[in-house]
Amino acid sequence: MSQSPPSSFCGKPHYRPLTRRGACGLIGAMLAAPPVIGQVTAPEVTLRFHHFLPANSNIQREVIAPWIREIARQSDGRLAIEVHPAMSLGGAAQDLARQVESGDVDIALTLPQYTPGRFPVAETPSQPFMMTSAAATSRALYRLMQEAGRAEYHHTHPLAFFVDAPGQLHTATRQVSRLTDLRGLRLRMPSQALGDLLGPLGIEPRFFPVTDLAGALQRDQIDGSCLTAEIVTTLGLETALPFHCAINAEGRGLYTSSAAVLMNRARYARLPADLREVIDANSGEEISVRIGRVLDRFETAANATLRAAGQTISELPEAEAQLLRAAAVPLHAAWIRTLDASGYDGAAIFARYEELLGAAV
């Protein structure tokens, strides 16, 4: 595209010098003009969101980031959320709930089982064979928390409760096709309940955060772990853990992990009413279920990636999975006693969760 030449006389460019009076007038006009760009782009409120997952994790990229963009859009840019992944604001993953309660951070993604026994209602889906799909189980968990678990989080303003996809068994040195193949394996367990379930089969349970898994494998401290295929691929552990075994009994996955997105209660209350409405529109049951659907999709894609790489994937025979599920019954009874000891009607909560899980879609 051609440009117009400067104004000229007799074909020669002519520039009028700017006088001192003209310069002062121009500066005055600039200062008097409203800063339109700054008003449009500068957020009125900025919240800090802290979590333990890597910055390149699927949840960061495909759950948290779109959620933040939607909140910015609905608030016309007035509400911004800064994400601080991988515990970059300090502390350990076990500290996240406390950081929200104290106001050290505004929002956090945390797992109830990081502080065992403190949030027993929220931990209930993490018991063995207490989940189906991530989407359906997230709906059941959210409803259970609304009905029976509000007191656990009364110091915060919960935004979502959800669960991960069904966990599998991933091993480094041999394929697990039968329960007898577990004997002698040193396995990282995501919860004490799962360690108690598999311990009698001859495993040596190890307990530590999933973020320490790669180092433990490199140091030959473990032979495998229970976790999702999505985490295996996210952490790049396909080479270290080339054998995979799914364990399902009558549509129930071996285990899952509960999660909560929490906001500082006072920070929520201080928001202008219309910005609270934006937060409300992007939290609750349907958001929880939507996260579960995304996690189900992640797991399907991760299993396809493992198969495409030629890795061995098996499923424990149904009869043996049923034996494991029967072995979980005493652990469920023990969990009911844990709920009782925390001041709840454990049997009623457990029965209600089973009912919600059976009805959830």
Mean pLDDT value across residues 313-336: 96
Going 22 to 24 to 29 to 30, the CA torsion angle's sign is positive
d(CA 185, CA 304) in angstroms, rounded, equals 26
* Residues facing residue 170 across a β-bridge: 225, 244
Weakest-pLDDT range from 3-12, 254-263, 309-318: 3-12
How do residues 194-227 score in pLDDT, each as one tens digit?
Answer: 999 999 999 999 998 887 899 999 999 999 999 9
Q: Please report which confidence band the pLDDT of residue 2 belongs to, taking 50, 70 and 90 as the band edges.
A: very low
At 259, the amino acid letter reads: A
Mean pLDDT value across residues 33-62: 77
Question: Residue 238: pLDDT above 60?
Answer: yes
Query: In this prediction, what percent of the chain has a pLDDT beyond 90?
Result: 83
Give the other-Cβ count within 10 Å of 281's Cβ: 12
What distance lies between CA 31 and its chain's CA centroid? 47
How do residues 154-188 score in pLDDT, each as one tens digit?
Answer: 999 999 999 999 999 999 999 999 999 999 999 99
Mean pLDDT value across residues 51-55: 92
- The pLDDT score that the predictor gives to residue 41 is 55
Mean model confidence pLDDT for the chain:
89
* CA-to-CA separations, 13 to 9, 18, 130, 343, in angstroms, rounded: 7, 16, 82, 88
- The pLDDT score that the predictor gives to residue 209 is 81
Q: Which domains can be identified in the chain, with CATH numbers?
A: 43-121+154-162+258-298 (3.40.190.170), 168-255+309-359 (3.40.190.170)
Interacting residues of 64 by C-beta distance below 8 A, sequence separation 6+: 49, 51, 83, 109
